Amino acid sequence: MRAVVLVGGEGTRLRPLTTTVPKPLLPIVGQAFLERQLSWLRSHGVDDVVLSLGYLPDAFQTHFPDAQCDGVRLHYATEPYPLGTAGAIRFAAASAGIDERFVVCNGDVLTTLDLSALLAFHVERAAEATIHLTRVDDPSAFGVVPTHDDGEVKAFVEKPPPGAAPTDWINAGTYVLEPSVLDDVPPDLTVSIERETFPRMLEEGRRLFAHGTDDYWLDIGTPDKYLQAHLDVLAGRVGFPPAPGAIEIDPGIWVVATPDVAAGAVLTPPVFLDADAVVGSGAHLSGASVGVGAVIEAGAHVENAVVADGARIGPDARVIDSIIGPGAVVEDSAVVLDHSIVGARARVDAGLALAGSRVEFSAGAS
């Protein structure tokens, strides 16, 4: 089985993390998100994937130098310019010679969707295209897809006003497509599959279906959702262990190799410590994912936060509901709160307090 994964977006809502690293390659509890997605695809029989690239395309080839991941062969299709979702799918499928039924995934959706069941649903209904749906509390920010009892799509309603949505089932960004879906997508033009291709298929009376499930689903594209992804993975919502090679040394405390945790440090589940992480005396970690070689110094408080590889949290500093990028430093007694992002190698000066901030690396910083 073959698939196209759309990984070309710039991930602007997660900057400055995505200034140098594409969003699909950001880690979720010690493992690049895209690696998780590829393993999920493989578990449902997908063994050949085309990565539809746009932003920082070389980063993907560097990350996967052997053009494979967990038994999945990888191909790279780099858009010459942004082509929209349908245009990107057409370009990727053509570049890899896909001429049979295939799967499409957005490269920022963490899910436990039973893809095999979605494929079976598609085949049973002789569908030309099948859309996975998920239920959300407030569908006003999404594309809503009401269906008939058999799953045939009735309509597409884009971002309905609050309280006016005909259903709370939204387009979840995973599709099963027959190659004929792409026949009407013009080459080299920017076309949206959600706003143009699917609605046109509906108007033409083609066999367009949607299937809603209660499987876990999360778009990781904002700071709060990126943090939530870590907590959900640590809670086992996408399965255990939360990262390759992780061992549970106490309930809810996961480590890779043997971290250096000082006497007097307090680890309140869930916590993940990657290889060579260091936690000082009196430090308190709760709901924390700590990367390779990261250092949490004495008396620091890290809660509902991500501390990436090689980062350092200074003595008595506080990092709450925030993300500290690779090699970044939060100096002594600094406070970082409220979905702040400290980018790779950036520095938060001693005693400084930040809330909802973005901090980028400055070559001239001391």
Question: Which residues of the chain fall below pLDDT 50?
Answer: 366
198-252 confidence digits (pLDDT tens) = 999 999 999 999 999 999 999 999 999 999 999 999 999 999 999 999 999 999 9
Question: Rounded CA gap, 1 and 219, in Å?
Answer: 24
pLDDT attached to residue 365: 54
- Structure confidence at residue 303 (pLDDT): 98
pLDDT for 364 equals: 56
- Euclidean distance between CA atoms 75 and 70, whole angstroms: 14
User: Which domains occur in the chain, in start order?
Assistant: 2-219 (3.90.550.10), 245-359 (2.160.10.10)
Number of H helices, E strands in the chain: 6, 31
Q: Which residues contact 101 (CB under 8 A, 6 or more apart)?
A: 1, 122, 176, 177, 178, 179
pLDDT at 157: 87
